[in-house]
Amino acid sequence: MSWLERLFQGNLMPHGQCLLWRPDLLLMHIGGDILTVVAYFTIPIALILLVKKRDDLEFNWVFLMFSAFIFLCGLTHLIALINIWHGYYFIEGLAKVLTGIVSISTACMTLALLPKAISMPSRKSMLQMNRQLKTAKEDLLDLTEQLERKVTERTIALEKLAVTDELTDLLNRRAVMARLTGQLQLARRYGKPFSLMMCDLDYFKSINDTYGHPIGDEVLTVFADHLKQATREVDSVGRVGGEEFLILFPETPLAEAITVAERLCERCRDDRTVSAYDGTVITFSCSIGVVQCNADDSEKTLLNRVDVALYDAKASGRDTVASA
């Protein structure tokens, strides 16, 4: 008899005979096997679907091994169910051998995989790591924000420093000259008038010589304050030399600039500043030259004209305003 004939030799004693066809035993065997077969055929479908949907899962081949092993278990239960009425014990034996091979392979591979699987981070530790990463990210964002704020603050401070006169906090020479260039360009393009005023403290050398350099510095600061108060936001006020100041009045005709200059002379004249340095009452005056920009003025001619006006103010006795 060939193997194939033996395999399908269903005339061996049916398993029901062993159970003496007792309904209670039959019910238990048939019921148990049916439920097991349904379950063992469903689980592989679920595992295959999982592997298909989650191809990112590590070791997903283990799920496939489990599917094969559980499917074969289901198959042996199915054959056992048939064998209650027939006697296909060769088929059942073959199915059991196959199930055994696949089961033992799955067991060996699972055991080999165990150390790797155990060392995998748990969901709890991953969640904790996630929280730590989130906190670190927030800290980093905070730090970046702080850093950006500091860089902006420093940049603003540096930009201010680059255009500011350290002693008086007015514009420095470079900055006020740049503004003058800009004003001249605007005046040439749009024909808008602007006026220029050059101030120089009178006998400043003798203030330094009489009271000392620190009080000379104080006078410069006090004078700078008068300048700030006598002018408007849009005016550009700068210190261009030791005791020499240049003021630009945009869109201002000569007469208005002269009024400001005269008011400034008056303020200085009335000032009785008490030195914070040694209590000395300091008095000082200034001479001022004022000019209005002409259509044909260049930077050089304009500065020349305002210098001449200042020289005139000095020459006519100081503490006065002269215009060109």
Ligand X SMILES: Nc1nc2c(ncn2[C@@H]2O[C@H](COP(=O)(O)OP(=O)(O)OP(=O)(O)O)[C@@H](O)[C@H]2O)c(=O)[nH]1
32 or 242: CB nearest ligand X: 242
Binding site for ligand X (CB under 6 A): 167, 200-205, 208, 213, 216-217, 220, 242-243, 314, 318
In the complex, the smallest distance separating the C-beta of residue 318 from ligand X, rounded to whole angstroms, is: 6
**What CA–CA distance (Å, rounded) separates 232 from 45?**
85
36 or 164: CB nearest ligand X: 164
103 or 164: CB nearest ligand X: 164
**What CA–CA distance (Å, rounded) separates 112 from 299?**
89
With a CB cutoff of 8 Å and minimum separation 6, the contacts of 256 are 195, 249
- CB contact at 8 A, 216 and 204: yes
Structure token digits, residue 134? 């989130």
**What CA–CA distance (Å, rounded) separates 72 from 102?**
8
Q: Which of 138, 159, 166, 243 is catalytic?
A: 243
Helix (H) or strand (E) holding 38: helix 23-53
Q: What 3-state DSSP class applies to 224?
A: helix
**What CA–CA distance (Å, rounded) separates 320 from 265?**
7
In the complex, the smallest distance separating the C-beta of residue 284 from ligand X, rounded to whole angstroms, is: 9
In the complex, the smallest distance separating the C-beta of residue 315 from ligand X, rounded to whole angstroms, is: 10
Concerning whether 299 is annotated as a catalytic residue, the answer is no
In the complex, the smallest distance separating the C-beta of residue 198 from ligand X, rounded to whole angstroms, is: 12
Active site residues: 243
